[in-house]
Amino acid sequence: MAVIDGRNLFESAAICTHIADRVPDADLIAKSGTFARAEHDQWVSFCLTEMEAWLSNSFVNTYVLPEDERISAGLAQNAKMFKRAASVLDAHLAEHDYLVDDRFTVTDIIVAWCSNWGRRQDLLDECPALVRYLERLMTRPHCSLLRD
């Protein structure tokens, strides 16, 4: 959670987007109303609904819930669905260095965090462009993506 101007924001994508909007000189997000901003919204929404949801479900059913409440039957399907979504991202990154405007933006921070979670679960074996993208981002100063 972040407290900004005395008000709470608890969703990481909203926090990142809001901070990027508040610091326009950093040029980390496309301007509102542009097609590039629509691409930001597209990739962030895609990441949260088509990628992170599957990883989160697997995490909850592996570590969070008490053992007698866990449902392991869906874990393989969660991996399959994450991989399907990751392949869409991989296809885009095979032709682009970054997700929006071919430059590093807050979109990359949000999507890379989730993608790296999938990489750490060994779910990116069929996504070489996405793996190269993550490796490239890990060389950036102040990158906090976990490498192991």
Query: CATH no. for residue 118?
Result: 1.20.1050.10
Angle between helix 106-120 and helix 35-46 axes, rounded to 10 deg: 20
* 148, pLDDT greater than 80: no
Answer whether residue 133 shows pLDDT above 90: yes
DSSP, res 62: I
E strands in the chain: 2-4, 7-9
Q: Indicate whether 144 belongs to any domain.
A: no
Distance CA 75, CA 83 (A): 12
Residue 13 resides in a domain:
no
32: tokens are 């509102």
For the stretch 12-60, pLDDT in tens is 999 999 999 999 999 999 999 999 999 999 999 999 999 999 999 999 9
The answer, yes or no, to whether residue 144 has pLDDT greater than 90, is no
Provide the pLDDT for residue 125.
Answer: 97
Q: Does any domain span residue 18?
A: no
pLDDT at site 80: 98
How much is the pLDDT for 146? 74
Nearest residue to 46 via CA among 2, 100, 123, 126? 100
Q: What percentage of the chain reaches a pLDDT higher than 70?
A: 100
What single letter denotes the amino acid at residue 66? P
Binned at pLDDT 50, 70 and 90, residue 87 comes out as very high
- Residue 2 falls within a domain, yes or no? no
Residue-number span of the structural domain to which 62 is assigned:
34-138
Number of domains in the chain: 1
In a domain, 93, yes or no: yes
**Residue of higher predicted confidence among 144 and 40:** 40
> How high is the pLDDT of residue 127?
98
Compute the average pLDDT of residues 114-121. Answer: 97
Q: Are 36 and 29 in contact (CB under 8 A)?
A: no
